[in-house]
Amino acid sequence: MKVTSSEFVISAVGPKQYPEDGLHEIALVGRSNVGKSSLLNKMMNRKGLARISSRPGKTQTLNYFRVNQMLYFVDFPGYGYAKVAKSIKETWGKMIEGYLKNRQELRFVIQLVDIRHAPSKDDIAMYDWCKQIGIPTVVVATKGDKIARGRWLQHTKVIRQSLRLRGDDTIIIFSSETGQGKDELWGEILRRLRANDQEPEMDSQQEIPATVSNKTTE
Ligand SMILES: Nc1nc2c(ncn2[C@@H]2O[C@H](COP(=O)(O)OP(=O)(O)O)[C@@H](O)[C@H]2O)c(=O)[nH]1
Ligand SMILES: [Mg+2]
């Protein structure tokens, strides 16, 4: 996709600050240092727009970037500096949970994992959490330039199996150094947004699993 405009909009500390123009939102999650800011900069063709390697764990805000007056990338605080239950339920707080569960504009999550390593417990918990809520995930294996091309398949297989990738979820290999995966990721984003536009209202989708599971345990 040709990015003609991209801008930082707000570091939101809560729902009152989320944009109200109804554009699609794509959340980016992953542990600190996985390459989230670098990927955002690469996707938006803007070297310093998303800050690279600001102090990990410092910001507990949702950072909104608008692209082409069409969508928002929502940069989540990095996880992985606390035990998963704590990082997700406490440090991240209700804001993150509330966003994932209730944000109508959220279309899917891009979850970043380092291609060199098997996903951590936090990565697995994050992925499972999105599946429980009913949010699709595009997994991006970052820092592809750090291992030989011939080993990519082997490494993505480990990631796929550790996360137990489900449904329509997919893995894309990315490098913010070489630009590997950039066009593929944009293609995937546009494909998913288009598919979403063609579906009837899916607002109740997120409530369905909870209702069903409540019923069956009665
Ligand atoms: N070789 C290589 N280094 C990367 C890549 N992406 C990020 N990095 C480096 O990894 C470090 C953390 O990147 P950053 O984007 O700040 O990660 P964040 O904490 O997830 O936002 C920085 O030193 C980046 O230069 C990549 O694709 N290839
Ligand atoms: Mg960052």
Q: Where are the domains of the chain?
A: 6-197
Mean pLDDT within 179-201: 91
The helix/strand/coil state of 82 is: coil
Residues lining ligand 1, Cβ inside 6 A = 30, 32-38, 52-53, 78, 142-143, 145-146, 175-177
* Confidence at residue 148, expressed as pLDDT on a 0 to 100 scale: 97
* Both structure tokens of 114: 């380092």
Q: What is the CA(48)–ligand 2 centre distance, in A?
A: 11
**Count of CB atoms situated within 10 Å of the CB of 155:** 20
CA of 97 to the centre of ligand 2 (A): 20
Q: Could you give the 3-state DSSP secondary structure of residue 178? A: coil
Measured from the Cα of 54, ligand 1's closest atom is 16
The residue ranking higher by pLDDT, 90 or 65, is 65
Pocket test for ligand 1, best of 36, 53, 110 (most atoms within 8 A of CB): 53
- Domain 6-197 grouped into CATH 3.40.50.300: yes
pLDDT (tens digit, 9 = 90+) per residue, 125-159? 999 999 999 999 999 999 999 999 999 999 999 99
Atom 14, ligand 1: residue with shortest CA distance:
35
CA of 177 to the centre of ligand 1 (A): 9
pLDDT score of 218 more than 70: no
Residue 140 tokens, joined: 């991006």
The count of other CB atoms within 10 Å of the CB of residue 57 is 14
Report the pLDDT averaged over residues 37-42: 95
